[in-house]
Amino acid sequence: MANPRATVHVTDDAMVFAQAAVGDLTNEEMLARVNQLADTDWWPMIDCHRWFAVEVVRAQEDELRATLHCRIVESKEVRPFFGFNRARHAVIEAAILATRTHLIPKSQIVDELGRLQPLVDKTGGPQEHAAFDLLKAKIDERYAAK
């Protein structure tokens, strides 16, 4: 709400999803992944499928959430997007679970991770394995801190 501009990315980078979900992206890592558009507040990722520089034109807030209506100021397709394999879907699901440790009992999250693990084992590459392992470790840390 403080900044009416954002860059929306389409990416299949499992580690970006994982790190962003658990707040594990350092400023240095993020700065290495983006490039500022000249004379603007937009910072698109260098390696993504597509990005959109957007500006909020109207905001609606209620007690549950904010809805931001945006206009696209600029966009670019960097490379084609072919979708997610099962391992990347599993990482995204695990990333969502990692953001819900304050809402969901540990046993339920552990069960879900157990259901997702074979998808990573069977179809994931090194990046998906590393992202899934990061999320499991962060989930463990969050429950240990309670």
Residues 94 and 114 in one domain: yes
DSSP-assigned beta bridge partners for residue 121: none
pLDDT > 80? residue 26: no
Model pLDDT, residue 110: 97
pLDDT, tens digit, for every residue of 44-82? 999 999 999 999 999 999 999 999 999 999 999 999 998
- The secondary structure of 108-144, three-state, reads HHHHHHHHHHHHHHHHCCHHHHHHHHHHHHHHHHHHH
pLDDT, tens digit, for every residue of 39-51? 998 999 999 999 9
Residues 41 and 90 in one domain: no
pLDDT > 80? residue 27: no
Residues 59 and 107 in one domain: no
Residues 67 and 97 in one domain: no
CA 83 to each of CA 10, 12, 15, 91, 120: distance values in angstroms, whole numbers, following the listed order:
10, 7, 16, 14, 16
Q: How many domains does the chain have?
A: 2
- pLDDT grade for 2, boundaries at 50, 70 and 90: confident
Average the pLDDT over 80-105 and give the result.
Answer: 96
Residues 107 and 57 in one domain: no
DSSP-assigned beta bridge partners for residue 9: 51
The residue range of the domain holding 62 is 5-77
CA dist 133 and 113 (Å) reads 10
Q: Which two structure tokens, joined as six digits, stand for 103?
A: 């809402």
- Examine the fold and report which residue of 49, 77, 105 is the final residue of a domain before the chain moves on: 77
Residues 19 and 71 in one domain: yes
- pLDDT grade for 29, boundaries at 50, 70 and 90: confident
CATH of the domain at 40: 2.30.110.10
Average pLDDT, the chain: 94
Q: Is 139 within 8 Å of 98 (Cβ atoms)?
A: yes
Rounded to two decimals, what is the model's pTM? 0.85
CATH of the domain at 137: 1.20.58.290
DSSP-assigned beta bridge partners for residue 77: 50
Classify residue 37 by its DSSP letter: P
% pLDDT > 70, the chain: 100
Alpha helices in the chain (DSSP H): 14-21, 27-33, 86-98, 106-123, 126-144
